[in-house]
Amino acid sequence: MKINVLKKSGNELKIEIEGTTHGLCNLLQTRLLEDKNVDFAGYDIPHPLASNPIIYVRMKGNAKPEAALIKAVEKVREANDAFSKELERVIKA
């Protein structure tokens, strides 16, 4: 997986993620929108067969979009860990 920064300014960040699909982008968008400092978060896949997803984050005030994105990734990781533990528990039962 490779990440390319397409735009980075004070309160905006636009990145392209090579090698992923709607699954990861939708998770990140959902977690980003839970942050009260996020003004807008979304993603686009310009062409499903020939394009990489582009994630866009715009923050309120002087909040940093990089920090919000890292926080969203951490929330996704925590949810994945919790799901994994619960799945192991129910499978062993």
Q: Are 20 and 45 in contact (CB under 8 A)?
A: no
- Amino acid 47: pLDDT: 85
- Amino acid 48: pLDDT: 77
- Amino acid 51: pLDDT: 83
pLDDT of 81 above 90: yes
Q: What is the pTM of this model?
A: 0.87
Q: Are 65 and 11 in contact (CB under 8 A)?
A: yes
Q: Which residues span the domain enclosing 16? A: 2-92
Q: What is the CATH classification number for the domain harbouring 26?
A: 3.30.1360.10
Q: Are 13 and 4 in contact (CB under 8 A)?
A: no
pLDDT of 9 above 90: yes
Sheet holding 2-8, edge to edge: 2-8, 12-18, 54-59, 38-44
Q: How many domains does the chain have?
A: 1
Tens-digit pLDDT profile for residues 26-73 = 999 999 999 999 999 999 998 878 789 999 999 999 999 999 999 999
| Measured distance CA(87)–CA(38) in Å, rounded | 32
